[in-house]
Amino acid sequence: MKMSNKVYDILKFIAQILLPALGTLYFALARIWNFPFAEEIVGTITAVDAFLGALLGISTMQYNKAKENQAEG
């Protein structure tokens, strides 16, 4: 799976900063203001974040492996 550096950086920001912050914000506000489905929404955000993290991890491994192969050959 190849992606540009810009796409990778954007997805990394979403996975590391945006989604965890959004989940925390919703959970906190749901407890204060009794918003509906707090566990379901935060669980969904967490699942999407974990999946995105896995995709980024795979992409990083492939990039590093390709970089190693170029250095060797």
CA 11 to chain centre: 6
Q: Please state, in angstroms and rounded to a whole number, the distance separating the CA atoms of residues 18 and 28.
A: 15
CA 54 to chain centre: 8
Q: What is the DSSP letter of 34?
A: -
| pLDDT one-digit tens code per residue, 16-59 | 999 999 999 999 999 999 999 999 999 999 999 999 999 999 99
pTM for this one?
A: 0.89
Q: Please state, in angstroms and rounded to a whole number, the distance separating the CA atoms of residues 43 and 47.
A: 6
CA 22 to chain centre: 12
Q: What is the DSSP letter of 62?
A: H
pLDDT for 37 equals 98
In this model, does residue 2 exceed pLDDT 90? no
